[in-house]
Structure 1
Amino acid sequence: MVSLSQTAGDSGGKDMRLSIRSLVSIAVLAIGSLSITMPASAGTGAASFAPGTPMHFARAFPTATELLNGNVLRAAGYDGGQFFSDAEIYNWHSGTWTTVAPMHVARAAAMAVRLSGGRVMVIGGFGPGFSVLDSVEIYDPRADSWSVTGSLNQRRAEDFLAAVLPDGRVLVAGGFIFANPMIGLFVPTNSAEIWNPGTGTWSPTTPMHVTRGEFTATELKNGRILAAGGINAAGPDNTAEIYDPSRGDWALTGSLNIGRFDHAAALLLDGRVLVAGGEVGFGAAGGIRSNTAELYDPHAGTWSLTGSMTSARSEAEWATVRLPDGNVLVTGGFVAEETPQSSADLYHTATGVWSSAGSMSVARAGQAAVLLRGNRGVLVMGGLVAPPFSTSSVDIYR
């Protein structure tokens, strides 16, 4: 069992005062946590972006979850320094948005998973004043209602791991447990806990080996979960570890070639994992974004560098989509501190080369991208356009 005092010790007793300007921007302007836990797929061929029906509200860093019927639930989010609890659903048949019941708690940088049966769980995140939340809510699409379930043992926000296990329980791990954007203080954790659907309560479980926030979590083909990179007291991290649901424990695997956080990841059709971009260090102008990419081979447990994107980008982790042909689309993100971009990159798995995928109608970072059914393309929604202000605009890549 991991207590709060033990968790604090995981950072080596040091405050997370790493490049205050950059970390403040992460918390205040780039709170990426959209709930696309598995890469999706969209049309092939000479695709391009076209504007779609805008959302009812301008939001960045909400959760975005595909429902069982193919519609997309967008919940909560951030805009202009405020946090919101509103929610709406995109109808993939009509291409229109409908407002639905709001959440009980305003939040952003939460995580969401779709439970068995089709309900959607939204976990933690930042609340008003950038407080870190422990509250958890469940949306029932049939009743159009939110219900509160048991609270986390450890408050957490910002790109932590959230995954439904084979037996229906929910695992969360890592993330930031404290944030004070006024002084640039962030404390990541290695703690983990599991939600029991029978009791509606959370119980601490085996922690990760490494403290990490703003990392990626990818479910492998064998059901194990790969946690890669992130940030901790030492800076951008290059370690990776795997959670085995059958054993309930973590095992370190090969390290990334480049320590990175706030990067994108996608599971490829052949079972390898692609990671791309992110922040790799700090400079006088803030975080240093990267265009590099690498591949994880689960059989060998090793990482190898692959082609680089046409543009450096971070905060595009929830706007990264695997297409039906196996190629990977990465949209927007920050190209520099507080500088969203409209460009997109396409990774060609057969050659390991990236090419431009065109540009969206607006520059955006902290947006969501979700595959639509029926060959209707990739829905890209919201995001920051002029930090700290977000957009209601939508682009469809098809």
Structure 2
Amino acid sequence: MNCPAGFGRMAALVMTLAMAGCSHEDFAEPLDNPEDVSAALGESSIWAAASSMSTQRMDHTATLLRSGAVLVSGGQTASAELYDVKTARWSNVGSMTAVRRRHTATLLPSGKVLVVGGDSGASSTGTAEVYDPSTGLWTATGSLDTLRSGHTATLLSSGAKVLVVGGDSANVGFATARLYDVAAGTWAETGSLSTPRTGHTATLLASGKVLVTGGRTGPNGGFLRTAEVYDPATGTWSSVAPMSGVRSGHSATLLLSGKVLVVGGLVDELTATRTAEVYDPVAGTWTATVNMMTAEARAQHTATLLHSGEVLVAGGTSGGDLNLQSVVLYEPTSNRWYTTYSMTTSRLGHTATLLNTGDVLVAGGRPDGGPGTASVERYIAPAPPWRLTGSMTAARYYHSVTTLDSGVVLVAGGTATGSSALMGAERYDEHDGTWVAAGTLATPRFLHSATKLASGKVLVAGGQGSSSVFLASAELYDPATSIWSPTTGVMATTRSRHTATLLDSGKVLVAGGRSGSSFSTLLNTAELYDPATGTWRAAASMSRKRLYHTATMLQSGRVLVVGGTTPDGDTNTAELYDPATDTWTATGGMAATRYGHAAVGLRDGRVMVVGGWSGRGAVATAEVYDPATGAWSTVASMNTARYTPMATLLEPSGRVLVLGGDGGTSVGLLDSSEVYDPATGVWTSSGSLSSPVTSASVAKLPGSGRVLVCGGLGTSGALVSTELYTPAL
């Protein structure tokens, strides 16, 4: 089978073509309309019917809860219902205090949902209420200053306030904005827009500011092309560059790059546009994208950012009375639009919700020429969780990886042979998927540590220059200049395979490892680096020498060191370092000895340890340390035994991704990955990398929640490849 290539992932289209056995040459250009896809691939579809809601709904809301379920509320009714993704069933969850449509629903940090305003079709309401998933109850909360519907609601970055902007009532548009205090349940006045707006969009930017675009001055008012930004720090609005043309009922989607994609909208009472443009918050400018395909003008549609970074645009109206069934896909990297399979029915006033699985649940709305519908369908996003991205300039393993404040990933040093060190460094930018040189280390090194300091600089310490040369030197990387500079002082001893932990004070704790090639050189010593002086000083020593151990920062500010191998054998012991007293204290031991394991701090403050080597081989076991009790508890074992696995906490789900490693003598290196859900205690397979790997470096990409795996040791030696994992669970 020849797989399509050349246009990024192209989400569903590429995967569907691949499954059909089509080559890239068969479809070298974007398709003009959905019929082209259908003609090529027959009647197969990537839309799947889902069980219908109990009530016909239009202009309702749909909110993805932390449990993964979807709460649907209102839509010319006061009722609400819940969709369970696992069972694919709907259940009623009571009624709101008022009939609502054109209202807003906002997921709060507590997991509750704030529903605000809306109208019954005859009159608007200014009431608000909160749904609590833990009890299934609706509770009234503070009311707005006025009746309001067609507004926007945005949870600010602080998580403490919800910003409600614009809207209308009784054919009058509003310029006012209100802030909801999540803790107090009350509303307060904040700065007003420069002009009334309804049918506008509001997008939370990476800076924490809120971008509002377009709309109309009222239900029957003039159409707008202006845009303005709200600054939560000052409570004021400022105008920014206007869009290329007027838009109302358009969509605005925050892309993984931090830019905002604005699509379609009405330009007058009966005419929609097929244009789209992108706003760059850093430059404060708009750039036109290519237009949607012929006959794809649309407004009042949905736009959903997929895990792949593409945007799925579905349904809406082309103007007048024609509602749409078609679906298009925007791919930001190539700046191109693609068609994908149409929905089973046309829809206007529907919702589209990105599920934790990566699929999109589309519910309700009004088919062309009909009343609201209760029908539901699901867009199956077939993109695999793993995909290759740009390769590094050098093959390497035993290197370090650090995510910089800018979101760019820095890789430094390593080895390609296992006997000599590399001195090159390079940086990966997720936005363009490429690596560029990032200066040269002052000293070639591998098996060193790398720690991002509070200043944004990166401290690289110790390691080896060759199989027999161990290092005590350290150096700093400055992201602003890409220059590496030796620190003023050096460590007290040569050190390799140690751990390095950034403390709350800004200092760095280095502990354990080895100072030479023989097993007798294992270390129990620890030392502290002070960025303020650029010097090292001795810290209290651990209770025992440790190699292949882990060190994890706890929420209390203490550091948990676990397991490892010692001159006396492998250990199950753990100890805590307290920076305030410079002391180590023994804490509860694990159920079994292990070294070469991975440790991940969970959201609730506990620490999970997985895999490693115990006794005579690699293990699949996992256990969790509770700082409150100092005790360990075993949890479900992984599906695969793994020695030296890589692991990281996924955002925003709080799940744990474990990948690769060595399965043991009879198994060899692994290409599999799996995800642990602390809420259910269950491990789930999460796809395979392009090749088996160990000793790779793993970095979280803060803008997208993806995980970057770069280099490592494969079955044929050092790897130059890098892969991206997109959380799909």
TM norm structure 1: 0.71
Query: How much has 1:93 moved relative to structure 2?
Result: 6.6
Contact 1:263 1:315 in 2 (8 A): yes
Structure 1 distance, partners of 2:558, 2:648, is 21
Once residues 329 and 243 of structure 1 are traced to their aligned partners in structure 2, the CA distance between those partners, rounded to angstroms, is: 27
How far apart are the structure 2 equivalents of 1:195 and 1:265? 23
Equivalence map 1:1-398=2 (5 Å): 94=358, 96-128=385-417, 130-158=419-447, 160-179=448-467, 186-205=468-487, 206-233=489-516, 234-281=520-567, 288-316=569-597, 319-336=598-615, 339-375=617-653, 377-387=655-665, 389-398=668-677
**Paired residues of 2:613 and 2:643 also in contact (CA < 8 A):** yes
Alignment deviations for residues 230-269 of structure 1 (CA, whole Å, 9 cap, x no partner)? 1114522111111111121112111101111110111111
| Secondary structure at 1:251 match in 2 | strand
CA distance in 2: counterparts of 1:142 and 1:249, whole angstroms: 36
What letter corresponds to residue 374 of structure 1 in structure 2? Answer: P
Deviation, 1:353, is 1.2
- How far residue 391 of structure 1 moved from its aligned partner, in angstroms, is 0.9
Tell me how far 1:389 sits from its aligned partner: 2.9
For residue 197 of structure 1, report the CA deviation from its aligned partner.
2.7
Q: Deviation at 1:374?
A: 3.0
Alpha-carbon distance between aligned partners in 2 of 1:68 and 1:236, rounded to the nearest angstrom: 45
Q: Which residue of 1 aligns with 2:40?
A: none
Assess if the C-alpha contact under 8 Å between 1:68 and 1:118 holds in 2: no
1:68 Cα offset (Å) = 9.3
Offset at residue 126 of structure 1 (A)? 1.8
More strand, by proportion: 1
State the 1:108 CA deviation: 1.1
For 2:450, the aligned partner's letter is A
Supply the AA of the counterpart residue of 1:240. Answer: A
Q: Is the 8 A contact 1:320 1:329 kept in 2?
A: yes
User: Equivalents in 2 of 1:333, 1:357: separation in Å?
Assistant: 15
Shift of 1:187: 2.9
> Is residue 263–residue 276 contact of structure 1 (8 Å, CA) maintained in 2?
yes
Which residue identity lines up with residue 396 of structure 2 in the other structure? R
User: SS in structure 2 opposite 1:231?
Assistant: coil
Equivalent position of 2:83 in the other structure = none
Q: CA deviation at 1:200?
A: 2.0
**Which amino acid is 2:675 matched to?**
I
Change (3 A) 1:392 1:174: same
User: Deviation at 1:376?
Assistant: 5.0
Q: Is the 8 A contact 1:278 1:315 kept in 2?
A: yes
Q: TM-score, normalised by structure 2?
A: 0.39
Equivalent pair of 1:135/1:150 in contact (CA under 8 Å): yes
Contact 2:462–2:471 (Cα < 8 Å) also in 1: yes
> 1:121-180, CA deviations, whole angstroms, 9 ceiling, x for partnerless residues?
11111213543211111111111100112221211112x22122233322101112211x
- Whole-Å Cα distance in 2 between the matches of residues 167 and 297 of structure 1? 23
**What is the aligned-residue RMSD (CA, Å)?**
2.5
Counterpart AA for 1:393: S
Structure 2 segments unaligned to the other structure (5+ residues): 1-65, 68-255, 259-306, 309-355, 359-383, 678-729
Contact 2:658/2:673, CA 8 A, preserved across alignment: yes
Distance 1:223 1:68 in 2: 29
Q: What is the alpha-carbon distance in structure 2 between the residues aligned to residue 363 and residue 230 of structure 1?
A: 24
Q: How many residues align?
A: 300
- For 1:366 and 1:260, the matched residues in 2 are separated by 16
- Partners in 2 of 1:376 and 1:351 — Cα distance? 22
Paired residues of 1:236 and 1:259 also in contact (CA < 8 A): yes
8 Å CA contact 1:122, 1:138 repeated in 2: yes
For 2:454 and 2:567, how far apart are their aligned partners in 1? Answer: 37
Partners of 2:575 and 2:593 lie apart in 1 by 14
For CA contacts below 8 A with separation 6 or more, give which structure has more relative contact order.
1
Report the residue type matching 1:190 in the other structure: A
Q: Give unmatched runs, 5+ long, in structure 1.
A: 1-42, 45-66, 73-91, 180-185, 283-287
Q: In 2, distance between residues paired with 1:68 and 1:303?
A: 43
- Give yes or no for contact 1:106–1:128 (8 Å, CA) kept in 2: no
Equivalent pair of 2:420/2:465 in contact (CA under 8 Å) = no
Task: Write the distance in 2 (CA, Å) between the matches of 1:281 and 1:325.
Answer: 34
Q: Which amino acid aligns with 1:141?
A: E
Moved more, 268-277 or 95-104: 95-104
CA distance in 2, matches of 1:196, 1:350: 38
Say which SS state the counterpart of residue 128 (structure 1) adopts. coil
Match of 2:442, SS state, is: coil
CA drift of 1:336 comes to: 4.3
Counterpart-to-counterpart distance in 2, 1:129 and 1:248 = 30
- Alignment partner of 1:113: what SS? strand
Structure 1 moving runs of 4+ over 4 Å: none
Name the SS for the 1:177 alignment partner: coil
Shift of 1:368: 1.2
Counterpart CA distance in 2 for 1:204 and 1:365 is 34
- Preserved contact between residue 593 and residue 614 of structure 2 (Cα < 8 Å): yes
The equivalent residue for 1:21 is: none
Structure 2 contact 413–422 (Cα < 8 Å) conserved: yes
Structure whose CA Rg is larger: 2
SS at match of 1:362: coil
